[in-house]
Amino acid sequence: MHPDLVDIAFLHIKTYGACMALGFILCWKLAEKMSGRKDLGDLFMYMMLAGVVGARIAYVIEHWKDEFASNLAAIVRIDQGGLVFYGGLILAIVVYFVWCKAKKVTFLETADIMCAVLPLGHAFGRIGCFFYGCCYGRLSDSPLAVRFPVHSPAWYEQVRDGLIAPTATSSLPVLPTQLFEASALLVLFAIAAMLYVKLAKTKRVAPGLVAGAYLMMYALVRFPMEYLRGDPRAEVGFLSIAQTISLGVFLFGAAMLAFSLIRTRKAADATSKTT
């Protein structure tokens, strides 16, 4: 855990924010290079802002009683961590719809390139989570488990639950789920990026396949990852909120993928009839 990247006199840079900024810049520049387009800067900026706001809103809703009901000023302290990815994804998609409407382009026109690079930025965000100490895993005696230092989110939760004394200098060992998910996201990024590059060269597949595949793959990563998480999780029945959303995201991604394949098949049939 290393929440402060730079803390010298007036210069104070949080590692969490630095990771997010680096991930954003890499996604933006990589998307332009892979797609050959130079007009994606504004879209990335709008979606980045929407993602942060949406992720914070979702986190505040999920942790209202524990963290914010008695401390409203803490709502705007995103520099201290506390973002829920699905909240950011949902609001970013809404903003993307608005952008497409304003630019008079179809929803799928740039969805593939956005989803091809998104896992990379998300991976950097999860690394930032690890440095801050949020989104930690459940208690474990695994050799992969880590101890977070005093005043970390895991330490506070374990003190509150009576698992450790307030004088403890570190938390009990927990799974580093932040790094587990970051690793999975890097693999997902490699798959999505290679798929995008391959399909862009052939130009024989209708838009939406990469976006649909990404949504399905991330849902398959996130759903089981929730069982390893140890931080407070809001629930919907016997599932966490993230697991419930994962089901919807998987179905939405499957619909996008199917739509792309159906359009591709129709285009191929139409071409074969004219030759």
- Residue 12's SS3 state is strand
Residue 230 forms part of a structural domain: no
Using the CB atoms, write b or e for 27-41: b if 16+ within 10 Å. bbebbbebbeeeebe
Residue 111 forms part of a structural domain: yes
Residue 19 forms part of a structural domain: yes
Residue 66 forms part of a structural domain: yes
Residue 60 forms part of a structural domain: yes
- Using an 8 Å Cβ cutoff, are 240 and 199 in contact? no
Residue 92 forms part of a structural domain: yes
Residue 228 forms part of a structural domain: no
Residue 269 forms part of a structural domain: no
How many other CB atoms are there within 10 angstroms of residue 69's CB atom?
9
Domain that holds residue 124: 4-138+175-203
How much is the pTM? 0.87
How many structural domains compose the chain?
1
What pairs with residue 4 in β-bridges? 14
| Tens digit of each residue's pLDDT, the chain (275 residues) | 666 666 676 666 678 888 888 999 999 999 999 988 888 888 888 998 998 888 888 888 877 777 777 778 778 776 666 778 888 888 998 999 898 888 888 888 789 999 999 999 999 999 999 998 889 999 999 999 999 999 898 999 999 999 999 999 999 999 999 999 999 999 999 999 999 999 888 877 888 999 999 999 999 999 999 999 998 877 888 899 899 999 999 999 999 999 999 988 887 777 667 66
